[in-house]
Structures are given as structure tokens and as C-alpha cells.
């Protein structure tokens, strides 16, 4: 077993969602309370510090265990996507719809959608959802025009357009249709090199990781990406290696952790050559660790896939990179909680970064706060802190 971690740095990129550091860490602290209750631990959380540009929020978590005694300090850095996401949301709805339809056609005619369906049909349905809802809104408008044609004449066409626009605006916002349209158009443009604003932001994140890693004297550094953040964190990790070729040796363990990742929507696309080259650099590095967490219950991930194999990248025969582990959300939660959330696709998708209510080897806050190194926890299925015998050498 590796030496217990005493000081850890976490760099977190979430999905394509608007979330301020204050809102993110308020939620993190609520979920941390579940972790404390479940394991009988106590974590002190520092006030949120936000960088001068507003792009990184940071707290320090200090967690102590009782039997045997241990203490871990974790610097948790949250990367803020607000500027990009809110700017996309602020575009006129016809522009958002137009960009989405271009993206949808691109994924279909490039063959990417077919590859998605062949490997993960549930994620394929998630891919189709915004398009099907746009069709439903369009059919609603067409029905309204048809039913009023005898009374309104050509005016019924205007009514149909108005009904479609109202459905897209109101229902598209209430249901996450418009949001998901933007997710797919952003992903398409980013992997094609059409989002210089996002590329510049990812480079700034990478430079911040390198700077803080050099200064932190950490035992473990973990770059975490959730959902679309799984795509972004792989891009950022590759940028870290380009910025600092010694990056993967800045701690005993330097790891990427992808949770419910949707990175293969880029990995499968013929135009995403730069992205795949970046992932190949991670493979070739040899020191970097990568853990990929997948779950059948979660619709928004490509379950039972090996990202490197699916991208057809070079890898030494027999090498597990990434280490792919599948989790069961029903084993993380008390039965009544699981029954309550299991039909809520987005709530299930967020359980990766929420607190457990049952002991289980995958526990986001054990990964963040306990002394077990990430890869050892996954490979040996360790729940809780390190086995007692490993503290005798700490």
C-alpha cells in the first residue's frame, strides 16, 4: 500500500452549467455533512477564496480521523465556467436553435451518433432528446396552425410560429431542452477548435494547476472532470503536460478522475483530432494516473467503454489506462433515498459528486478528504480510510 496522503490538491471542472464558486461550495458543504455523519468524521472548511479574475474558487478542507488517528489537508479548486455558459444562454433563442441544429446534423452525418448508439444506446437517447423535443414543439405549432386555418387564413401560419416559439422558450427552459441544445453546440464547436474563448480559459486553468502544483508540496494531485467536464479535464491535463513536461511528477500521485464522463462525444468525432492527440499525450506520459468511473443507472455516460480503446489510441498491450471502474448508486445510498432519486436522470448523474449515505468504496468525499490514494482505493475497493496496518508506517 502507498504511503498515506497528508496533503492533496483537487482541481474540479463540472459540467456545462452556470455555477458560482459560492453556490458550488455551499452545495459541497451540505454534501460534506453527509460524509461526516456516515463516517463519524469532522472536516473544517475554510472560507471561499475567489481569484481576482473570478475564474477559480478555492477552499481548504481539513479532515481528521479517530481510530487510528489521521489528518488530511485538501485544497479544493473549483474552475468556473460561468462566463462561457451564461454568454451562450444569453444569445437569442433562434441563434441557439440554429447552432444546435448544425451540431446535431454534424454528429449524425459524421457517423458519431451511430458510434454512440452502437456502444451506449441510453446515452444515444440522451443525445436525441433535445432534437425530439424541438420536433414536438414544431408539431405543436403546426397543429395550432392547421386547427385555425379556416378562421385565420394565412394568419394561422403566424399563430403556428408563435406557438412554436412560445413552446421552445417556455417549455424548452422548464425542461432542460435549451440548455442541452447549448451543451451539444458548445461541445461540437470546442472539439472543432471553434471556441477560442473556451480554449483560452482551459489554458488559464492548466497554467493555474501547474503553478499551484509547483508551490503546494502535495502528496496527491487529482484533476476531476464531471459530465462534460470529463471532456474538458482531459484537454486541461494535456495542456498541463505541454506547459510543464514534469507535471506528472509534481506529487507521488498525479491523477485524472473522470466521473460520468461524456468525453467520447468528442473522442468518436472524426474532426476532434486535436483532442485525441491530447489524450494520446496522457497515455504516452507513463506516470500520470487516470481513473474513469461509469454507472449503468446514469444515462448521461458511456457505460462499459474504455475511452482509450474507443478512440483507437496507441497503448502498451495489457496496460490499464485508464483504470475503468463501474459503480452502483443503489450501493451508495439508503434504499428510501435511492427509490426517490433513481428516476431523476440529472439527480442520478450528480451522485458522483454528492455525499453517500451508505459505506461504499466509491465515495467522492473519501477521495477528497481521506488518506487513501485515489488509484489504490479503486483497485483494492477500499471503503473508508486506509487499512489500520498501513498507518504504522505513516
pLDDT value for 150: 81
* Confidence category of residue 149, pLDDT binned at 50, 70, 90: confident
Mean pLDDT over 46-65 rounds to 97
Q: What tens digit of pLDDT does each residue of 256-267 get? A: 999 999 999 999
Q: What are phi and psi of 223, to 5 degrees?
A: -100, 115
pLDDT of residue 387: 59
Q: Which of 312, 305, 243, 301 is nearest to 272 (CA)?
A: 312
* Residue whose C-alpha is closest to residue 176's, from 14, 300, 13, 266: 300
Provide the pLDDT for residue 153.
83
pLDDT band with cut points at 50, 70 and 90 for residue 2: low
Distance of CA 63 to the CA centre of its chain: 25
Share of the chain above pLDDT 90, in %: 92
DSSP symbols for 148-181: HHHHHTTHHHHHHHHHHHHIIIIIHHHTTHHHHH
pLDDT tens readout for residues 89-107: 999 999 999 999 999 999 9
pLDDT of res. 388: 43
> Tell me, what's the pLDDT at 391?
42
Report residue 151's pLDDT band, with 50, 70 and 90 as the boundaries: confident
CB environment 358-389: b (16+ within 10 A), e (fewer) = eebbbbbbbbbbbbbbbbbbbeeebbbbbeee
- pLDDT exceeds 60 at position 114: yes
Q: What is the pLDDT of residue 389?
A: 47
Q: Is the pLDDT of residue 125 over 50?
A: yes
pLDDT band at 154 (very low <50, low <70, confident <90, very high): confident
**Structural domain boundaries in the chain:** 84-189
Q: Is residue 65 very low, low, confident or very high in pLDDT (cuts 50, 70, 90)?
A: confident
Cα 17 from Cα 97, distance rounded (Å) = 18
Beta bridge partners, 97, equal none
Instruction: Tell me the average pLDDT across 268-277.
Output: 98
What's the mean pLDDT in 161-186?
Answer: 96
- Set of cell numbers at residue 16: 456545462
pLDDT for 1 beyond 60? no
How crowded is residue 143: how many other Cβ atoms within 10 Å of its Cβ? 12
Q: CA torsion sign, 42 to 47 to 53 to 54?
A: positive
pLDDT of 394 strictly over 50: no
Amino acid at each position: 500500500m502507498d504511503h498515506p496522503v497528508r496533503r492533496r490538491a483537487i482541481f474540479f471542472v463540472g459540467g456545462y452549467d452556470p455555477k458560482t464558486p459560492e453556490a458550488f461550495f455551499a452545495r459541497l458543504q451540505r454534501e460534506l455533512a453527509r460524509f461526516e455523519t456516515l463516517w463519524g468524521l469532522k472536516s473544517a472548511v475554510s472560507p471561499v477564496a475567489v481569484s481576482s479574475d473570478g475564474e477559480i474558487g478555492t477552499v481548504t478542507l481539513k479532515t481528521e480521523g479517530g481510530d487510528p488517528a489521521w489528518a488530511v489537508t485538501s485544497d479544493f479548486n473549483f474552475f468556473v465556467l460561468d462566463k462561457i455558459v451564461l454568454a451562450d444562454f444569453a444569445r437569442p433563442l433562434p441563434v441557439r436553435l440554429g447552432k444546435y441544429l448544425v451540431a446535431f446534423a454534424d454528429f449524425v452525418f459524421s457517423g458519431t451518433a451511430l458510434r454512440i448508439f452502437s456502444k451506449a444506446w441510453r446515452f444515444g437517447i440522451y443525445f436525441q432528446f433535445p432534437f425530439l423535443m424541438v420536433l414536438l414543439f414544431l408539431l405543436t405549432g403546426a397543429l395550432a396552425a392547421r386547427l385555425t386555418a379556416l378562421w385565420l387564413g394565412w394568419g394561422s401560419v403566424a399563430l403556428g410560429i408563435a406557438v412554436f416559439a412560445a413552446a421552445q422558450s417556455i417549455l424548452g427552459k422548464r425542461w432542460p431542452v435549451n440548455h442541452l441544445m447549448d451543451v451539444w453546440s458548445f461541445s461540437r464547436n470546442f472539439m472543432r477548435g471553434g471556441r477560442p474563448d473556451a480554449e483560452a480559459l482551459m489554458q488559464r486553468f492548466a497554467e493555474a494547476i501547474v503553478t499551484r502544483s509547483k508551490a503546494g508540496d502535495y502528496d496527491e494531485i487529482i484533476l476531476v472532470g464531471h459530465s462534460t467536464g470529463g471532456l474538458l479535464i482531459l484537454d486541461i491535463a494535456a495542456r498541463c503536460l505541454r506547459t510543464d513536461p514534469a507535471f506528472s511528477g509534481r506529487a507521488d500521485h498525479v491523477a485524472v478522475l473522470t466521473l460520468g464522463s461524456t468525453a467520447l462525444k468528442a473522442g468518436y468525432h472524426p474532426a476532434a483530432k486535436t483532442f485525441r492527440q491530447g489524450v494520446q499525450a496522457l497515455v504516452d506520459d507513463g506516470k500520470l494516473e487516470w481513473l474513469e468511473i461509469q454507472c449503468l443507472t446514469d444515462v448521461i455516460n458511456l457505460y462499459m467503454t474504455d475511452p482509450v480503446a474507443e478512440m483507437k489510441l496507441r497503448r502498451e498491450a495489457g496496460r490499464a489506462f485508464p483504470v475503468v471502474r463501474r459503480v452502483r448508486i443503489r450501493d451508495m445510498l439508503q434504499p428510501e433515498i435511492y427509490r426517490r432519486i433513481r428516476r431523476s436522470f440529472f439527480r442520478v448523474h450528480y451522485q458522483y459528486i454528492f455525499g453517500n449515505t451508505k459505506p461504499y468504496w466509491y465515495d467522492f468525499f473519501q477521495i477528497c478528504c481521506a488518506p487513501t490514494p485515489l488509484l489504490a482505493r479503486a483497485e483494492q475497493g477500499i471503503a473508508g480510510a486506509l487499512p489500520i496496518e498501513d498507518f504504522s508506517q505513516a
